[in-house]
Amino acid sequence: MSTLRKLLEEKGFQRIKLKYTSTNHFELVAKINKIKGNFILDTGASSTCVGFDSVEHFKLVATDSAVRAAGAGANNMLTQIAEKTILEVGSWKMKKLDLVLFDLRHVNEALVNHKAEKVHGIIGADILKKGRAVIDYKNKALYLK
C-alpha cells in the first residue's frame, strides 16, 4: 500500500513542511516577491492576507480598498490591496496574486500571549483552492499542485 506522500508526489504535488504551534495552528514559511515570511495556514480565511506592518518587509505597493475584512475577534476592518504579487510556498509558485492587507495586530497579540511567534500573514482558501491543497495533519505537511 502506498503512502499519501508517495501518491501525491507521483501526481505532481509539491510537499511543504508545516509547523504545529502552541496555539493549535499550522505555520509555514512562504515568500512574497522573493522575501521570506511566516504565515498561518487558515482554511477558514477566504483570502491570503498580509499585515499592514509587513508591507515594507515584502516591498508591496498598497492601494486602498472598499472591501472590509472580518475575522476572529475583529469586524469591519479597513483593508488595502497589493496587486500582482508573486507568492512562493516551497517550490509552488503563484504569479499575479492580489493580496489583502489589513491590521494583524490582534492576531499577533494573541500569538505572543500564547508564546507563539508573530506572523507576517495568513495563507487562505484562495491559495489552497488554486493549489488543489491537501493537508496531511498527521505528518504536518501541505501539498500543492
Domain boundaries, the chain: 4-144
pLDDT at 54 over 90: yes
Category of 15 on φ-ψ map: left (φ > 0), alpha (ψ -120 to 50) or beta: beta
**76 vs 110, residue with greater confidence:** 110
**77 vs 42, residue with greater confidence:** 42
Distance of CA 8 to CAs 3, 11, 63, 131, 132, Å? 9, 5, 38, 13, 11
Say what the pLDDT of residue 14 is.
Answer: 96
Say what the pLDDT of residue 106 is.
Answer: 86
DSSP helix/strand/coil, 6: helix
Say what the pLDDT of residue 65 is.
Answer: 72
Average pLDDT in the 25-50 region? 95
Q: How confident is the model at residue 79 (pLDDT cuts 50, 70, 90)?
A: confident
pLDDT at 124 over 60: yes
Say what the pLDDT of residue 64 is.
Answer: 83
pTM for this entry: 0.87
DSSP helix/strand/coil, 4: helix
Distance, CA of 19 to CA of 40 (rounded, Å): 9
> Under 8 Å CB-to-CB from 74, ≥6 apart: which residues?
103, 106
Say what the pLDDT of residue 1 is.
Answer: 43
Q: Which CATH number fits domain 4-144: 3.40.1170.10, 3.40.50.2000, 3.90.730.10, 2.40.70.10?
A: 2.40.70.10
Burial of 32 from C-beta contacts in 10 A (0-12 / 13-18 / 19+): buried
Percent of the chain with pLDDT over 90: 74
Quick one: which of 50, 131, 55 has its CA closest to 90?
131
